[in-house]
């Protein structure tokens, strides 16, 4: 493994590695942990936050580099995860021995990561479910995500078996999801088919890409509109990161309050504190019982205020 180091920012060390043939069967997180003699959790966080790229692209922690790949690592000042149970109230919609379904508040982060080490759904989950099986050290029970500013239905697994099965249902698109949002203007009812990928210049953002993007499809239906704002229903066929937020920006009708993909002037005008996006409905077959289940989270007050005005 060849190594080059340079200081790219104040107190930020960047190192570039060229993978040797004997390293090709190692996971990315394990490879970095072994080479730099730091914990695997530390590098899992760097990978998750985009501080590790392979040939200029972000990869998952389980990715196995091939000989000749260039791995770039930015070492940031961070604390390693010590996920502890925290007594945080949960709005529980359903619970049994295998899974739990909650109505996530818009202010809650799903799992610990850089900048949000505590107060997350995972911390609350570990407190509420004392016998939770932890097959993943950093995201126990997690099978899907909602952005911090997005409220609504969130399901988590209590056992390793159910976590694997639920993750499979999401991966195979056998989970039906319906979101509600307040967006700018009045869009047409349509199917938005626009591939998504990491923004080529802005590391933390997602963008519609003409080349190299992953398939992404969203069905949009206008429920009511006054021409200035619209209350819409969104049904994602795929589950890409930031998909609904980027797709609405792409068609010129961004979600009101979105701090990244929205319009700052309109967010300020309407005094919104978060993107007005709500995961209203989640439908799937229970991994153990085989029963079809539907969960609905009531629309939060901040969205209802705008719906009434529209």
The pLDDT of residue 293: 98
Tell me, rounded to whole angstroms, the distance of Cα 232 from its chain centroid.
21
Q: Domain 178-278 belongs to what topology? A: Pseudouridine synthase (3.30.2350)
State how far the Cα of 75 lies from the Cα of 11, in Å rounded to an integer: 9
Mean pLDDT of 104-118: 82
The whole-model pTM stands at 0.78
Neighbours of 8 (CB within 10 A): 10
pLDDT > 70 fraction of the chain, expressed in percent and rounded: 91
Which secondary structure element, helix H or strand E, spans residue 47, and what is its range?
Answer: helix 40-48
Q: Which two tokens stand for residue 174?
A: 């056998």
Of 7, 71, 50, 78, the residue nearest 202 (C-alpha): 50
pLDDT band at 113, cuts 50/70/90?
low
The residue among 152 and 36 whose pLDDT is bigger is: 152
Q: What is the pLDDT of residues 186-218, one digit of tens each?
A: 999 999 999 998 888 886 789 999 888 899 999
3-state helix, strand, coil in the chain (%, to 5): 20, 30, 50
- Predicted confidence (pLDDT) per residue in 162-174, tens digit: 999 999 999 999 9
Work out the mean pLDDT of the chain and round it to a whole number. Answer: 88
Question: Tokens in use for 165?
Answer: 């099965």
The arithmetic mean of pLDDT across residues 30-55, rounded, is: 85
H-assigned helices in 174-270: 243-250, 264-270
Does 82 qualify as catalytic in the annotation? Answer: no
Task: Give the closest residue to 279 by CA, choosing from 118, 121, 102.
Answer: 102
pLDDT tens digit sequence for 59-104: 999 999 988 888 988 876 555 555 789 999 999 999 999 999 999 9
Lowest mean pLDDT among 68-82, 133-147, 183-197, 283-297: 68-82
Pinpoint the residues of the chain covered by CATH 3.30.2350.10.
81-172, 178-278
Identify which has the larger pLDDT, 2 or 13. 13
Sign of CA dihedral 239, 244, 250, 251: positive
Contact 192, 250 (CB under 8 A): yes
Say which CATH topology domain 2-75 has: 3.10.290
Q: What fold, for 81-172?
A: Pseudouridine synthase (3.30.2350)
Q: Which of 91, 137, 147, 302 is catalytic?
A: 147
Q: How far apart are CA 133 and CA 142, in angstroms?
A: 11
């Amino acid at each position: 493994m060849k190594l080059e180091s340079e200081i790219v920012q104040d107190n930020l060390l960047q190192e570039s590695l060229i993978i040797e043939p004997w390293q090709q069967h190692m996971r990315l997180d394990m490879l970095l942990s072994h080479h730099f003699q730091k914990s695997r959790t530390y590098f899992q966080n760097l990978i998750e936050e985009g501080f590790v790229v392979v040939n200029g692209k972000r990869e998952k922690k389980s990715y196995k580099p091939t000989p000749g790949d260039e791995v770039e690592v930015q070492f940031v000042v961070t604390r390693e995860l010590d996920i502890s149970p925290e007594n945080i109230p949960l709005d529980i919609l359903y619970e049994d021995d295998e899974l739990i379904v909650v109505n996530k508040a818009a202010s809650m982060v799903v799992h610990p990561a850089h900048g949000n080490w505590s107060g997350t759904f995972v911390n609350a989950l570990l407190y509420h479910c004392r016998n939770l099986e932890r097959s993943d050290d950093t995201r126990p029970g997690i099978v899907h995500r909602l952005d911090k500013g997005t409220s609504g239905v969130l399901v988590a697994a209590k056992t390793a078996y159910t976590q694997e099965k639920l993750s499979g249902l999401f991966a195979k698109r056998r989970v039906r999801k319906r979101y509600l949002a307040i967006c700018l203007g009045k869009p047409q009812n349509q199917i938005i088919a626009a591939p998504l990928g990491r923004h080529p210049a802005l590391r933390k953002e997602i963008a519609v890409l003409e080349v190299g993007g992953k398939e992404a499809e969203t069905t949009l239906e206008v429920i009511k509109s006054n021409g200035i704002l619209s209350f819409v229903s969104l049904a994602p066929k795929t589950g890409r990161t930031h998909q609904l937020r980027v797709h609405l920006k792409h068609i010129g009708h961004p979600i009101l309050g979105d701090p990244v993909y929205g319009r700052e002037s309109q967010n300020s005008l309407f005094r919104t504190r978060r993107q007005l996006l709500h995961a209203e409905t989640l439908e799937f077959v229970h991994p153990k019982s085989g029963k079809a289940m539907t969960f609905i989270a009531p629309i939060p007050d901040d969205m209802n205020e705008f719906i009434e005005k529209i």
